[in-house]
C-alpha cells in the first residue's frame, strides 16, 4: 500500500476512496502473461499499484513492476483504462476503493524475476488459453478479459 493511501486510510478508515493506479502486463516472447498470486485474496493479477502524490503514472507502473517482480520495464504501450463499477473493490481487510487504473503492456524487460514476498505468493507465466478468469483478482478481470479478446 502506498504511503499516500496509508495516510489517507488513517482519516477515512475503510470508507470508499478513489484510487488512481498504474499497472503493467508483462508479455513474453511466447505470448505468455506474467501473473502473480496475490497474498491478500489469493487470486492472480499483474503488477500494479497506487500512484503516489505527484508521481507520473508511467513511473508508478515501472516502480510497481520492479517492486513486485524484480523486472525493469522497457518500452510501455498503453493498453486501457480500467474504471467504473467493475473496478470497484473491497479488499479482504475491509478497505474499499473505486479504482481508476491505467494499464500498460510491456514486451521488453530485463532482470531476474523474483516475487515481493509481502504481496505476491508466486509468479508464473500463463499462456492465454491457460487463464481462468475466475482465478483472476476481481477488479482486474475486465482487463484480462479484454486482453484475451483483443491480443491473443
Specify if 8 maps to a domain: no
When pLDDT is averaged across residues 122-146 and rounded to a whole number, the result is 97
pLDDT digits (tens, 9 = 90+) for 58-81: 999 999 999 999 999 999 999 999
Does residue 3 form part of some domain?
no
State the average pLDDT over residues 2-15: 89
How high is the pLDDT of residue 4?
A: 84
Is 6 within the bounds of a domain?
no
Distance, in Å, from the CA atom of 57 to the CA atom of 79, rounded to the nearest integer, reads 13
Angstrom distances, CA of residue 63 to CA of 10, 19, 26, 50, 69:
24, 17, 14, 10, 10
**pLDDT for the residue 5:** 86
Expressed as residue numbers, the domain containing 42 is 15-150
Helix residue ranges per DSSP H, the chain: 3-12, 57-69, 141-150
Distance between CA atoms of 132 and 4, rounded to whole angstroms? 33
Query: Cβ(116)–Cβ(17) under 8 Å?
Result: no
pLDDT digits (tens, 9 = 90+) for 78-93: 999 999 999 999 999 9
114 located within any domain: yes
What local confidence, expressed as pLDDT, does residue 3 receive? 80
- pLDDT computed for residue 1 by the predictor: 66
Q: Does position 152 have pLDDT exceeding 70, yes or no? A: no
In a domain, 67, yes or no: yes
Q: Report how far residue 143's alpha carbon sits from residue 1's, in angstroms, rounded to the nearest whole number.
A: 21
**Counted domains in the chain:** 1
Amino acid at each position: 500500500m502506498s504511503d499516500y493511501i496509508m495516510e489517507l486510510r488513517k482519516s477515512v478508515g475503510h470508507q470508499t476512496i478513489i484510487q488512481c493506479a498504474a499497472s503493467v502486463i508483462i508479455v513474453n516472447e511466447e505470448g505468455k502473461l506474467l501473473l502473480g498470486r496475490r497474498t491478500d485474496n489469493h487470486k492472480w493479477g499483474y503488477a500494479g499499484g497506487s500512484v503516489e502524490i505527484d508521481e507520473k503514472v508511467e513511473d508508478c507502473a515501472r516502480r510497481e513492476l520492479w517492486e513486485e517482480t524484480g523486472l525493469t520495464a522497457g518500452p510501455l504501450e498503453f493498453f486501457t483504462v480500467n474504471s467504473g463499477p467493475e473496478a470497484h473493490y473491497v479488499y479482504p481487510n475491509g478497505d474499499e476503493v473505486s479504482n481508476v487504473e491505467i494499464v500498460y503492456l510491456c514486451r521488453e524487460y530485463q532482470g531476474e524475476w523474483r516475487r515481493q514476498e509481502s504481496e505476491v505468493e508466486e509468479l508464473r507465466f500463463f499462456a492465454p488459453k491457460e487463464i481462468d478468469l475466475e482465478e483472476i483478482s476481481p477488479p482486474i478481470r475486465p482487463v484480462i478479459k479484454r486482453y484475451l479478446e483483443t491480443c491473443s
